[in-house]
Structure 1
Amino acid sequence: MYSLDVVQISRVQADQRAGRAGRTRPGKCYRLYPISIYQKEFLEATIPEIQRSSLAGSVLYLKSLDLPDINILKFDFLDPPSRESLEDALRQLYLIDAIDENGQITDVGRIMAELPLEPSLSRTLIEANKLGCLSQALTVAAVLSAEITFRSTRSKDMEGKRKRQELPDGSGWGDHIQLLQIFESWDRTGYDPRWCSDHELQVRGMKFSKDVRNQLSQIIQKIAKGSTDVQAKKEQKSDPDYRKLRRALCVGYGNQLAERMLHHNGYHTVGYRAQLVQVHPFSVLEGDEYGKLPVYIVYHELINTTRPFMRNVCAVDQSWIKPILKKLERLDMNKLSGGSSGSKDPEPLEDKQVSSPKKAMDVKQSDVDSKIQAARERYLARKGKK
């Protein structure tokens, strides 16, 4: 399971930052921490990204290459990630239907590999296209990819807080719905930058999300079943509670589910290695009349600050997660990686396979000769056409 953690920089990063601060001439660098921390607590070099980030996209790409007899857990990476990271990536791809229980890439997985998004958002778009809410899902995916943020304001700036409160509240269903409503409100103004400024939104981030959405719309046109326009009236009228969009998010974030505790609003993640987490304080997710939050939610990411928080959450129905829970029950990690079930190492060859090496060499040489002959014939055929 991946989360955004606040960690110390390495000594290499510290030296690089000192260089950035004094490029024009020699000088002194004053660091805001003791030299003992620099020498004893900082790592010598930064950990390679492949060893500290999600590998779901990389594993999906490897699966899409259709390489024969590839075992993901034994793949020869330049900077080998941990086995736990690879298993987590395989588990995520399996739960969102990118690979089957034997580790083979599915038709859904091949489409996901073509989209320039993280697998969870790619799967959300495919499911939304099936359910008829592609336009809304495109907006959510674009805004999450662009990571729009509010402009920084002072804690005592009551006017700034009031402007933010005027923004849509996600209808109580969660942050994904709020992001959708914010973008749709901006679209109705003709993408006026002043609207963003008036509501304390960073104009640059909003413009970037608009560009990302346009790009995604062009890429997904070949599989789109409906309109990709921002204001898709048919989607809004037929789904006032955003059930279709929330269901698509549930499918896309099948590996990022959380269940509320029985007696309070704390949550624990569903699946492998459950973790106690809480909804981020800035979330617009609302509870019922008794103040209890939804029983099941999906989250976009985990952030570890004072405690683990789920950021960008959305309420989902219990009936939607039943297929995901069934998948967890029959999960076989060795099969997902590309190996055979029940054995981690390949079985030794039988005696009859190694008893006649001369025959095997003859067969191999025959294959080489046939390939050379086929290549020669293709060359002569092309030459004849000229």
Structure 2
Amino acid sequence: MDPPPSEAVLKALEQLYALNALNSRGALTKVGRRMAEFPLDPMLSKMIVASEKYKCSEEIISIAAMLSVGNSIFYRPKDKQVHADNARLNFHTGNVGDHIALLSVYNSWKETNFSTQWCYENYIQVRSMKRARDIRDQLEGLLERVEIELTSNPHALDSIKKAIISGFFPHAAKLQKTGAYRTVKNPQTVHIHPSSGLAQALPRWVIYHELVLTSKEYMRQVTELKPEWLAEIAPHYYQLKDVEDSSTKKMPRGQGLAAMS
């Protein structure tokens, strides 16, 4: 088996350091040890650990479970595409963002006692939802192992968003005059995926779950944020002057591995 490219290893270490999973000597921190208990991408793990601070662990593990299923929640039958699109957009009322919409899907399904019929009516994949429920159950058990209390804060959307940003702050992007976005870290031009509930809204600042390359570089699972949250949540990664809404400001630069030496 070939070793991974050194550049990939370096990038992974930088990410773990930025997430406060590693200290300056490259050893696991207390946060890192808790993150390691979750069999998830480090950003998702950090999001869950951060939910303790914002008192919304119940909502965050639901979002993490839905994100872990991938992009197979909704489906669009060829003969009912308009109906399917309208059903999907119902979960996006108020431009709450894709993460909150996924939470709304899960909670609505739960309120119907996990009804299969409800999934059919809303053009949602039953198998994907059952998988998300299984993942969520596992995550709930792991919360107990790392001594994070199961707390709910369903109406505090800013707190839920801040917990998400705590894990995904490297995935911030800012709207440009062209209508495209530019990632704040390692600047590149990206676009909101057409399936996103924010594809028409085009908020000025967003956080995204992942990038996918098709005809363009698209951001999947997008949520609006306030730029000052980046400096509040990740001051080691962003400075307030870097995220002020001014085109004259330079792009922020993380400390990277230079700070680890």
Same fold per superposition (TM over 0.5)? yes
Q: 1:225 to 1:195 in 2, by over 3 A?
A: same
Q: Secondary structure at the match of 1:171?
A: coil
Residue in 2 that maps onto 1:38: none
Q: How does 1:154-303 map to 2 (within 5 A)?
A: 154=78, 157-165=81-89, 167-169=90-92, 171-222=94-145, 223-227=147-151, 232=152, 235-237=153-155, 239=156, 242-261=157-176, 263-271=177-185, 273-285=186-198, 293-303=202-212
State the Cα distance separating 1:161 from its structure 2 match: 3.6
Structure 2: which amino acid aligns with 1:146? V
What whole-Å deviation, never above 9, does each CA across 1:61-110 have from its counterpart, x for those lacking one? xxxxxxxxxxxxxxxxx422223212221221122111134433211011
> 2-side partners of 1:181 and 1:330: how far apart?
34
| Structure 1, unaligned runs of 5 or more | 1-77, 342-386
Q: Is the 8 A contact 1:170 1:177 kept in 2?
A: no
Q: How does 1:354-369 map to 2 (within 5 A)?
A: none
Q: 331, 338, 344: which one pairs with 2:255?
A: 331
Q: Secondary structure at the match of 1:87?
A: helix
> 1-side partners of 2:207 and 2:220: how far apart?
10
State the Cα distance separating 1:329 from its structure 2 match: 4.7
Does residue 137 of the first structure (1) align with residue 60 of the second (2)?
A: yes
Q: Is the 8 A contact 1:138 1:217 kept in 2?
A: yes
State the Cα distance separating 1:319 from its structure 2 match: 1.4
Q: TM-score, normalised by structure 2?
A: 0.85
> RCO (CA 8 Å, sep 6+): is it higher in 1 or 2?
2
Q: 1:319 to 1:156 in 2, by over 3 A?
A: same
Does residue 113 of the first structure (1) align with residue 36 of the second (2)?
A: yes
Q: Secondary structure at the match of 2:53?
A: helix
> 2-side partners of 1:279 and 1:247: how far apart?
20
State the Cα distance separating 1:157 from its structure 2 match: 4.1
Does residue 151 of the first structure (1) align with residue 75 of the second (2)?
A: yes
- Tell me how large the CA RMSD over aligned residues is: 2.2
Aligned length: 244
> 2-side partners of 1:120 and 1:332: how far apart?
16
Q: Is the 8 A contact 2:210 2:219 kept in 1?
A: yes
Residue in 1 that maps onto 2:219: 310
State the Cα distance separating 1:330 from its structure 2 match: 6.2
Q: Is the 8 A contact 1:253 1:299 kept in 2?
A: yes
Q: Is the 8 A contact 1:279 1:313 kept in 2?
A: yes
Q: How does 1:17-96 map to 2 (within 5 A)?
A: 78-96=1-19
Residue in 2 that maps onto 1:381: none
Q: Is the 8 A contact 1:171 1:178 kept in 2?
A: no
State the Cα distance separating 1:202 from its structure 2 match: 0.6
> 2-side partners of 1:177 and 1:320: how far apart?
17
Q: Secondary structure at the match of 1:236?
A: coil
Q: Is the 8 A contact 1:122 1:252 kept in 2?
A: yes
> 2-side partners of 1:294 and 1:202: how far apart?
29
Structure 2: which amino acid aligns with 1:179? L
What whole-Å deviation, never above 9, does each CA across 1:166-196 have from its counterpart, x for those lacking one? x311631310010001111111101111100
